[in-house]
Structure 1
């Protein structure tokens, strides 16, 4: 068996000797999953239409869309560093998550009320700040609640429920755009409802486990002495995730690709529906499988799926081809995002999980900003084909790097062998 030492414990990166008794995923994980689902329904009802609204109605360029999306996500990632560290310092994660979800719910009415692009950018920015505040504490809370031998399944389940919201949101957006004759503001107003429900569900049904009495108290989570407690294996996981994120860019470009093929305005959100459906159907099975097999192998499969998605989207000449490429894109997300979160949880000390998730999201957020800006430049200069071919090339490079990282992980001083 191959294991990775995280803090004071040894955790598995491949196959582990886990309990044979069947155990259910805790109710708190389910509740967090439904909280994520409701907020995603709200967010995706808006985000599925926002790129087209900015380009078709407000006259924004594809480069501007890439910059706005990249900055928004990078803002969330930077915020996660501080919220994650704060959750470690306070020893409490739930109330930071409540504040983050609450801020996102409060800002939703700005979208239908925004009189100009500046207001939309500000609303998008604040919405992502809310996401940043809740993200790292919520992920650390999942790791705290989940039994160690069901950690992959627990992260996969939360991700699946989150992503169900990601395709229900665009479906509702499609239906409402049809019913209202393409009235964006009506859709944006209705999106406020599930956001409010999300906060209520978190307040009532999620209980944070008591902090273990013997768990070391963290005074300055971002101090260099604390950061040294994060293992080499953790930093290798962060490196893999950052380079991997450079190989992909904002899903806004999937929407623009479908529009470039000729998909009607009211049906543009179907792109995110297809992607999220593939994502949600694969995330939980892959997460559960990762509790029994080598996780890095599954990550490699996810990268191959991203290469396939980029190539299909680069050369697609019709809506069927775009649909196939979007399915591959969704599958690659299902094979990677939950696994990366699980690896972060397993390679970081329990008392520094919030900080670990925050730093992880900072690095991947910066990488996503760079990837989205590059994609926007390529789109404006070379068109869709150049954008997706560049993504495929970077994915191949990342896959080669994953092979090197596998060797480094196994050769690092944190890798131990047990019988």
Structure 2
């Protein structure tokens, strides 16, 4: 009886965390398509400042993934840290409409980035703990599929809201969309708090001493490769600004992002299943080849339709 209850809790976690990812992705990608334009046209920020803000967010996300992963291992808890991470992101987004300059934009985006980085590692660990080894690729693929379906619908909702709020000043229109996206983010908090069940885990130690002994052998090699890849990986905000420079209309950016996320979503489960069959490393290699081709294409793109095609391919990489 107890085993059946544990199995039901595990299956429930996979489903609920999938919907948590859905609403998290929905909220995030209601903001992403219009954020670079908001930075440059409403706040009057330079492209250098945009790069500083979004680059710092990426850095904070990476650092917090390490820190939150270590802490969740040490205390043997996942759910509470995931909850805190999503809460930080929700707060950062719901306050974004109050932004009046670079400093506040920087601060709120960092809060969002801290939340994103905090929830990622323990959430993935919770999914792994709730999955059977033979179906782990499917479990992560299911989670990414719902995440990206949210990211597919987010830009479409934003495009609809841009039309609905067409009579408002641009500044007010953007801020209203940010507010709605922030409120959507709080749905993730409700789902985690009420429906996600903590999985039993062992506390590694009562001490929070950082153990660097894991950085050896194949893991060290993988870490270095990931470091090199991340060094060459730019913020997606620059891809949006690149699309604008090629002549893509502001009103079609959310639709392009939606198409990109649909490509990502539709290929998530098949890619997860493929990794169950041919190995994780082989699928990662394939993804990085697609990434390299895509970024070369963005460098050489000259016409708006090039951007449409490249975003479709970029979704396949992710």
> What TM-score does the superposition give when structure 2 sets the normalisation length?
0.89
The DSSP-based 3-state class of the residue aligned with 2:278 is coil
What's 2:210 paired with? Answer: 223
In the TM superposition, residue 318 of structure 1 has moved relative to its aligned partner by: 1.7
In the TM superposition, residue 230 of structure 1 has moved relative to its aligned partner by: 5.9
Alignment partner of 1:312 is 2:297: yes
Contact 2:40 2:46 in 1 (8 A): yes
Distance 1:163 1:92, change over 3 A: same
How many angstroms apart in 2 are the aligned matches of 1:231 and 1:190? 46
Unpaired runs of at least 5, structure 1: 1-24, 334-419
How many angstroms apart in 1 are the aligned matches of 2:76 and 2:302? 53
Counterpart pick for 1:160 among 145, 149, 152: 145
Contact 1:254 1:271 in 2 (8 A): no
Map 1:287-298 onto structure 2 (within 5 A).
Answer: 287-298=272-283
How many angstroms apart in 1 are the aligned matches of 2:221 and 2:142? 25
Contact 2:275 2:282 in 1 (8 A): no
Q: How many residues align?
A: 304
How many angstroms apart in 2 are the aligned matches of 1:107 and 1:246? 26
Distance 1:186 1:37, change over 3 A: same
In the TM superposition, residue 51 of structure 1 has moved relative to its aligned partner by: 0.8
What's 1:196 paired with? Answer: 186
What's 1:75 paired with? Answer: 60
What's 1:125 paired with? Answer: 110
Contact 1:258 1:271 in 2 (8 A): no
Counterpart pick for 1:185 among 175, 184, 188: 175
How many angstroms apart in 2 are the aligned matches of 1:109 and 1:216? 34
The DSSP-based 3-state class of the residue aligned with 1:280 is helix
Higher helix share: 2
How many angstroms apart in 2 are the aligned matches of 1:223 and 1:113? 38
Contact 2:13 2:130 in 1 (8 A): yes
How many angstroms apart in 1 are the aligned matches of 2:240 and 2:261? 13
What's 1:90 paired with? Answer: 75
How many angstroms apart in 2 are the aligned matches of 1:196 and 1:254? 28
CA deviation string 1:79-116 (max 9, x = no partner): 22222111111111101111111122223222111222
What's 2:24 paired with? Answer: 39
Counterpart pick for 1:144 among 122, 125, 129: 129
Give the RMSD, CA atoms, in angstroms: 1.9
The DSSP-based 3-state class of the residue aligned with 1:292 is helix
What's 2:4 paired with? Answer: none
The DSSP-based 3-state class of the residue aligned with 1:249 is coil
